[in-house]
Chains A and B, each alone.
Chain A
Amino acid sequence: MQVLLGLTRLLSMVNAALLGAGRVLGTACVALMVIFILVQVFYRYVLGNALPWSEEAARFLMLWMTGLMAPTAFRRGGFVSIDLLVGLMPRMVAAVLQLGLLALSLVVLVVGFRIGWAEVFGFGGRFATDALWLPTRVDLSSWMKVPRGWAMASLATGITLLISVNVELMLRSVLQLFGAGARVPEIRDQITLGAE
C-alpha cells in the first residue's frame, strides 16, 4: 500500500508540473493564434496582400493548444461522459467500474501512442508544411521548411500526457478501492466543459 501511495503521489506531482507547463504553453498558443489571424485579416483586407503562412501557423498552434491543454481537462474531470450509472452504484462497485473504464481508455491511448509517434517519425511526418519556415542560422541567412511531423507531434504529445494522467487516475481508483483514496491530495479545480 505504501508503494502504491508513494507512486501515486509521485505521478500526481509529475503530472501537475507537466500539465502546468502545458497550460502555460497552450495559453501562449491561444494568444498567438488570435494575433496571427488578426494580422491575416489586416494584411488581406487593409493592405490587400494575403499572407501565405498565417493560416497554417494558426492551425499548427491550435493543434498544439489541444495537445497541451486537453490532458489538464481530462485530469480535472472535464471529458464529457454519462456518469449516471456510476452515481447509482455502491461505492466499491463504482470504483471497480471506474477502474475498468480507465483500463479501456488506457488501451485506446496506448494504441494511439504507438500509431501517433510512428506517424510523427514515419514517412508522412517527413513531408514539409506548405508555408511554415524557420531560420536555421541566427543571421537569418538560411531557412528550413517546418516538417509536418512537428504538427503531428501535437496529438502524439497530447496522447502521451493523457496516458500519464490515465495511469494516475487508475492508481487513484485502486487506492479508492482499498479505502485509501483520501490519503493522496485531491485534484484541484474539477471542471465541466462543453461548447454549449
Chain B
Amino acid sequence: MMLSFFLPLFMLFLFLGLPVFFGLIAAPGLLLWLNGQERDIVLLYRNVYNGMDSFPLMAIPFFMLAGEVMNRSNITLRLVEFSQAMIGHLRGGLAHVNVLSSMLFAGLSGSAVADVSALGSMLIPAMEKQGYTRKFAAAITAASSIIGPIIPPSGIMIIYAYVMGESVAALFLAGIVPGILMGGSLMLMVAVMADRYDLPPATTRASWGHRGQASLKAIWPLMTPVIILGGILGGVFTPTEAAAVAVGYSLLIGLFVMRTLKWSDLPDVMLRAGMTSAVVLLLVGAAMAFKTVASLSHTPELLAGILLGLSDNPLIVLFLINVLLFIVGMFLDAGPAIIILGPILGPIFVSMGVDSVHFAIIMAVNLTVGLLTPPMGLVLFVTSSVSGLKVETVARAILPFLAVEITVIFLLTYIPALTLTVPRMLGFIQ
C-alpha cells in the first residue's frame, strides 16, 4: 500500500528541484526501505544497470553523433540553399524556407535543439536583413525546430520504444505524417501572416536549372534519411546499425565529399554526443527501475480508475490527457517526461482501446511542443541565446505558431489514421 505513495513523493522531489535521475530512484527506493523491503533496493539497482545495458538503446548515441557531425559539417547551408531554390520565391519566402529546412534537417538529426542552433544562427540574421522582425524570425525558427524529434530519426521515439517495448521502426514510420502535417500547418500560418504583414519573398523564382544545381548540392545530406529508413524498413539494418551507418555516412560526406569537416573536429563532436547520451542513458536506466516499481505499486490501475471516473469516453479522456501532457511539457523536457509518464499512462490508454503507437505519437508530439512553452522550454532558451532576444519576447512571438501546433496535436489525437496509416501500410502494426 505504501508503494502507491511513490508517485506523489516523486512529484514532490521533482517540484523541489531534485534532478530527475535521482528522483526516479529516490522516491521508490525510500518507500521500499520504509516498507522493509531493503532487498528490493538491490533489484532497483540491477534494473538501472540492465536498463542501460541494451543494444537497441545504442541508437541514441549514434543518432546524436550523426546529428553533431552533420551540424559541424555545415550541411545546414546546403539544405537552406535547396529550400530557397524550391520555395524562396513565395511571399514570406525565408520563413517558408525556415520551416522546410527544419523538415529536411529533421530527417538527419532528430533534435530540436540542434535544429535551432544550426538553422537559427544562419536564418535569423538573414531574415532580419530582409525586413522581418527579429522576434518573428526567432519565433518561426523555434516553432519549426520541434519537427526535429517528430520526423524520423528521433531520439525521443527511441527512448519511448525502449521504455515501452514498442517497435522503433513503427514509431519512426508513425512520425512521418505528423511531422509533415506540422510543417505544412506552420507554412500555412506563415502564408496567412505573409499576406497580413506584407512579408517579402526571399528571391525571385529560381530557374529549373538552378533548382537542379541546388538539389545536386543537397543530395548527399538528403540521402541520409533514405539510407536510415530504407535500411531499417528493408530489413537490412537494425535501428542501431542504421544509426551507426548514419554516423559513417555523415563522416564520409563531411570529411571526404564536402570536405567541410576537419579531423580535428571529431574529438569535440564525439565528446558532445557522448556526454548528452550518457545523461539520457542514465535516465533511461533509472526509468526502467521506476517502471518496475510503477507496475508493482498498481499506480497505472489507480490512475486509470481516477481517469475513468471522470469519463469513460476515450475521446474525452484523451482530451484531458492532452491538457495534462501540455502542462507537464511546460515544466519538463520531452525525454524525461516520456520516461516518467510513458509507463504510467501507456497501459491505461491501451486498455481503453487506443493503439499503443497512436498514443506514443500523441505523447511525443505533445511533449515536444512543450519544448516551446515557458517557464521551462528548452527550445525557448536556446532560441533566446541564438537570437539574443529575451525568453519572454520569443515566448510571446511564438503564440500564433503554438496555436497551430496545438491544433495539429488535436488532429493527431482524433484522427488516428494520420499516425497509423503509414506503419500499417508497411506491415509494422496490424
Contacts and interface: CB of A to CB of B under 8 A. Distances in A.
A47 interface: no
B88 to A, nearest CB: 29
Interface string B182-195: 00000000000000
B49 A155 contact: yes
A83 B20 CA distance: 11
Contacts, number: 204
Given A37-B241, A81-B18, A29 B55 contact: no
B19 A37 contact: no
A193 B60 CA distance: 13
Nearest to B335: A195
B282 interface: yes
B417 to A, nearest CB: 27
Contact of B26 (A82, A86, A104, A116): A104
B140 interface: no
Interface in A9-56: 23, 26-27, 29-31, 33-34, 37-38, 40-41, 45, 55
Given A70-B282, A192-B381, A82 B236 contact: no
Given A30-B65, A72-B275, A194-B276, A79 B55 contact: no
A27 B15 CA distance: 34
Interface in A73-97: 73-74, 78-86, 97
Interface stretch (B99-107, B121-129, B166-174, B370-378): B370-378
A115 interface: yes
Interface string B146-182: 0011000001101100000000000000000000000
B336 to A, nearest CB: 5
B279 A80 contact: yes
Contacts of A155: 48-49, 52
Interface in B7-21: 13-21
B20 A81 contact: yes
A174 interface: no
A176 to B, nearest CB: 15
Interface residues of A, number: 58
Contacts of B14: 81-82
Nearest to A166: B22
Given A34-B247, A72-B275, A196-B155, A81 B53 contact: no
A66 B42 contact: no
B270 A27 contact: yes
Contacts of B46: 119
A163 interface: no
Contacts of B333: 80, 194, 196
A192 B375 contact: no
A41 B241 contact: yes
A83 B375 CA distance: 10
B105 to A, nearest CB: 14
A195 B17 contact: no
Contacts of B422: none
Contacts of A37: 58, 62, 240-241, 244
B280 interface: yes
Contacts of A134: none
A35 B55 CA distance: 15
B315 to A, nearest CB: 28
A66 B277 contact: yes
Nearest to B332: A82
Nearest to A71: B278
B362 interface: no
Q: Which of A68, A80, A104, A195 has the most CB of B within 10 A?
A: A195
Given A108-B22, A196-B112, A82 B279 contact: no
B245 interface: yes
Contacts of A119: 42, 45-46, 49
A126 interface: no
Contacts of B274: 23, 26-27, 29-30, 65, 69
A172 B288 CA distance: 32
Contacts of A33: 58, 61-62, 244
Interface string B31-61: 0000000000110011011001111011011
B45 A116 contact: yes
Nearest to A155: B49
A72 B387 CA distance: 28
Interface of A: 23, 26-27, 29-31, 33-34, 37-38, 40-41, 45, 55, 58-59, 62-63, 65-70, 72-74, 78-86, 97-98, 101, 104-105, 107-108, 111-112, 115-116, 119, 151-152, 155, 158, 191-196
Interchain residue pairs A-B with the least CB separation, the first 5: A195-B155, A37-B244, A79-B19, A69-B278, A195-B335
16 contacts: A23-B275, A26-B278, A27-B271, A59-B53, A65-B274, A73-B276, A78-B276, A82-B332, A85-B15, A119-B42, A119-B49, A194-B276, A194-B334, A196-B112, A196-B149, A196-B333
Given A108-B22, A119-B45, 10 more contacts: A30-B61, A38-B245, A41-B237, A67-B278, A72-B275, A80-B279, A80-B332, A104-B22, A193-B275, A196-B333
